[in-house]
C-alpha cells in the first residue's frame, strides 16, 4: 500500500480554499485570501484592519450583506455625526436664549409694576424691587449660560470627531472577523449573502445618508424641517377610527346579545358552584383537603408550608376572600385548560392551523392586561363573569403553546415504532404522545394558573371580588401595611398552587 505524502494534499486543499474565498468575497480576492489564511490558523478573534470597512463604515457591512452589523455601526456613527453637526452649525444656546427672553419679559413687567407702585406709593414696592433684582440676576446668568453654550461648539466638534475615529477603528478591526464568520456559514449554506453587491451597496448608502442627514438636521437645527419634530397626522383621523370601532362594538353587542348573555350565565353558574365548594364548605374541611393534596402531590415539606400559608390566610381574616380568589382563578383556569389542551393537540399535528393560531396567541400575550378589560366590559359588563373571561384570555396562551411544544418534541422514531407495531391514531395519542409530552404540558398548565392569578388585582377593577379588592383599596387610600398583607396572601395562594402543580409533574 502506498503512503500519501501530506505535502501532496496540502496544495490542493489550499487551492480549493482559495477558490472558495474568491467565489465568496467577489472583490479583493488576494487580500481576503491572505487575511483568511492568517485568521484560520487560530480559533476565535484575530486582530486585523480592513481599511475599506473603516472608511465606509456601515456602508461596507451593508454591501457585504452583514445587515445586523450595518445597523449597529449606523447607530454609532449617526451619534458621532450628530455631535459634529452640533459643533459646526448647531444652535447650542437657543433654549437658554429663549429662557433669557422669557425672563426679560417678566422683568419688564415687574419694572412697569414698580413704576406704578412708586406713583401710587403702594406698600408692595420693596417686594417688587427685590423680585426685579432677582430677575436681573437670573437674566444675567441665563445670558452668560447662552454665551457659554454658543462657544462650546468646538468641544462638540472635537468630541464627535474622536468618537467617529474610534468607531471607524472599531469597524475596521471587526470587519474581517465578521466576514470570515459569514464565510464559514456560507460554506455550509449557499443562501448566506456573499460577494460585494452593487444593489446592497446602493441600499446601504441610501439608508446611511438618509439616517445621518435627517438625524443631524433634527438635533442641530430642530426648526429647519418641522415634519421631523412631529409626525404628520390629524387628530380627526383617530376620532373617526374610534367612532368606527365603537360602532362595531355596538353592532356586535346587539347581534350577539344572546351569546353574551349565555356566556355570562354559564360563567356565573360555574363560578357560583366553585364558590359553594370553597366558601360554603367548613374551613377545616377545605384546609384538610388542600393540605392532603399538597402532601400527595409534592411531599411533607410542601404540605407543612401549605398548612402555614393557610393559617396565615385564616388568622389575618383573608380566608373567605382567598377562597373567592381561588374560585375565580379555578373557573378561569379550568376553562383555559379544558379548551387549551385539545386546541394544542389539534395544532401540534396541523402546522398550518397553528400558523393561524400563533398570531392570535401573540396578540393575547402582548396586549396589556388592562386593555382586555375594555372589550370584556363592553360585551359582558362588570362583575365576576367579566373577571373570569379577562383572566381566561390572559392565561390561555401558555397551555396551548406548551401543549404544541410538548407534542412536537416527541421523538419521531418512537411514533414510527408504535405505528409499526399497529398502533391506532387514538392509541398513539393517549399511550405515546401525551405521556411523553406530559411534563411539558404540565408546565403549560402551571404557567396558565400563575398568569391567571396575576390577573386577580386587575380583575378587581371591574368588580371581581377577592384579594385583589384589598390591594386595590390599599392603593387608593395609601394603606401600605394592609396592601402588603393582601399581597402576601395572593403570593401564598400562588405558591400553594405552584407547588402542587409542580409536584404533580415529577
pLDDT in 10s for each residue of the chain, 506 residues: 333 343 443 444 778 888 888 889 888 888 998 888 888 877 778 888 999 999 999 999 999 999 999 999 999 999 999 999 988 887 777 777 888 888 888 888 888 888 877 777 777 777 877 888 888 888 888 888 878 777 888 888 999 999 999 999 999 999 999 999 999 899 888 888 888 889 999 999 999 999 999 999 888 887 777 777 777 777 788 888 888 888 888 888 888 888 888 888 888 888 778 878 887 788 899 899 989 988 888 888 889 999 999 999 889 888 888 888 888 887 888 888 889 999 999 999 888 999 899 998 888 888 877 777 788 888 887 778 888 888 888 888 999 999 999 999 988 888 888 888 888 888 888 888 889 998 899 888 888 888 887 777 777 777 777 788 888 888 777 788 888 888 888 888 878 877 777 664 44
Is the pTM higher than 0.75? The answer reads no
Grid cell of 21 as nine digits: 474565498
On whether the CB atoms of residues 61 and 202 are closer than 8 A, the answer is no
User: Treating both helix axes as pointing N-terminal to C-terminal, what angle do 351-366 and 319-348 enclose, rounded to 10 degrees?
Assistant: 150
On whether the CB atoms of residues 148 and 34 are closer than 8 A, the answer is no
Alpha-carbon dihedral sign for residues 192, 196, 199, 205: positive
On whether the CB atoms of residues 62 and 204 are closer than 8 A, the answer is yes
Long-range contacts of residues 335-342, Cβ cutoff 8 Å, at least 24 apart: 335/270, 335/388, 335/392, 336/392, 336/395, 336/396, 336/399, 336/448, 336/452, 337/399, 337/445, 337/448, 339/396, 340/396, 340/399, 340/400, 340/403, 340/444, 340/448, 341/399, 341/400, 341/403, 341/441
On whether the CB atoms of residues 328 and 456 are closer than 8 A, the answer is yes
Angstrom distance (rounded) from CA 71 to CA 60: 11
DSSP alpha helices (H): ranges in 4-124? 6-25, 29-39, 51-56, 58-63, 67-89, 94-120
What backbone torsions phi and psi does residue 503 show, to the nearest 5 degrees?
-60, -35
What backbone torsions phi and psi does residue 504 show, to the nearest 5 degrees?
-70, -10
Amino acid at each position: 500500500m502506498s503512503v500519501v505524502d501530506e505535502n501532496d494534499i496540502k496544495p490542493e486543499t489550499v487551492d480549493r480554499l482559495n477558490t472558495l474565498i474568491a467565489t465568496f468575497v467577489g472583490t479583493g480576492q488576494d487580500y481576503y485570501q491572505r487575511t483568511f489564511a492568517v485568521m484560520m490558523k487560530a480559533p476565535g478573534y484575530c486582530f486585523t484592519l480592513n481599511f475599506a470597512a473603516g472608511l465606509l463604515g456601515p456602508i461596507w457591512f451593508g454591501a457585504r450583506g452583514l445587515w445586523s452589523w450595518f445597523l449597529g455601526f449606523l447607530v454609532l456613527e449617526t451619534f458621532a455625526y450628530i455631535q459634529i453637526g452640533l459643533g459646526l452649525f448647531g444652535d447650542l444656546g437657543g433654549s437658554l436664549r429663549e429662557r433669557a427672553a422669557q425672563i426679560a419679559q417678566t422683568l419688564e413687567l415687574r419694572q412697569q409694576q414698580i413704576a406704578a407702585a412708586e406713583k401710587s406709593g403702594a406698600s408692595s414696592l420693596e417686594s417688587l424691587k427685590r423680585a426685579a433684582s432677582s430677575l436681573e440676576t437670573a437674566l444675567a446668568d441665563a445670558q452668560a449660560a447662552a454665551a457659554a453654550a454658543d462657544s462650546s461648539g468646538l468641544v462638540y466638534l472635537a468630541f464627535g470627531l474622536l468618537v467617529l475615529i474610534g468607531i471607524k477603528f472599531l469597524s475596521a478591526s471587526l470587519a474581517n472577523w465578521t466576514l470570515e464568520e459569514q464565510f464559514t456559514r456560507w460554506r455550509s449554506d449557499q443562501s448566506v449573502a456573499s460577494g460585494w453587491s452593487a444593489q446592497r451597496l446602493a441600499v446601504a448608502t441610501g439608508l446611511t445618508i438618509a439616517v445621518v442627514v435627517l438625524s443631524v438636521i433634527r438635533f442641530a437645527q430642530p426648526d429647519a424641517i418641522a415634519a421631523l419634530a412631529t409626525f404628520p397626522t390629524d387628530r380627526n383621523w383617530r376620532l373617526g377610527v374610534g367612532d368606527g370601532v365603537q360602532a362595531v362594538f355596538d353592532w356586535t353587542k346587539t347581534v350577539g346579545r344572546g351569546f353574551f348573555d349565555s356566556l355570562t350565565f354559564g360563567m356565573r353558574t360555574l363560578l357560583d358552584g366553585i364558590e359553594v365548594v370553597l366558601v360554603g364548605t367548613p374551613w377545616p374541611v377545605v384546609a384538610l383537603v388542600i393540605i392532603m393534596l399538597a402532601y400527595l402531590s409534592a411531599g411533607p415539606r410542601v404540605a407543612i408550608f401549605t398548612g402555614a400559608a393557610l393559617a396565615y390566610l385564616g388568622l389575618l381574616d383573608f380566608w373567605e376572600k382567598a377562597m373567592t380568589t381561588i374560585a375565580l382563578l379555578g373557573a378561569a383556569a379550568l376553562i383555559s385548560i379544558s379548551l387549551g389542551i385539545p386546541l394544542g393537540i389539534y395544532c401540534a399535528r396541523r402546522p398550518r392551523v397553528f400558523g393561524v393560531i400563533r398570531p392570535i396567541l401573540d396578540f393575547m400575550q402582548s396586549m396589556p392586561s388592562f386593555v382586555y378589560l375594555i372589550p370584556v366590559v363592553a360585551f359582558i359588563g362588570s362583575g365576576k363573569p367579566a373577571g373570569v373571561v379577562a383572566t381566561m384570555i390572559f392565561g390561555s396562551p401558555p397551555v396551548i403553546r406548551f401543549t404544541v411544544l410538548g407534542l412536537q418534541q416527541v421523538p419521531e422514531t418512537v411514533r414510527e415504532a408504535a405505528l409499526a407495531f399497529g398502533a391506532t391514531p387514538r392509541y398513539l395519542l393517549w399511550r405515546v404522545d401525551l405521556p411523553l409530552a406530559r411534563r411539558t404540558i404540565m408546565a403549560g398548565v402551571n404557567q396558565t394558573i400563575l398568569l391567571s392569578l396575576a390577573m386577580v388585582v386587575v380583575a378587581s377593577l371591574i368588580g371581581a371580588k377577592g384579594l385583589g379588592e384589598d390591594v386595590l383599596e390599599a392603593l387608593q387610600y395609601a394603606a401600605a401595611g394592609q396592601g402588603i398583607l393582601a399581597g402576601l396572601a395572593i403570593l401564598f395562594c400562588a405558591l400553594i398552587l405552584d407547588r402542587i402543580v409542580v409536584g404533580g409533574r415529577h
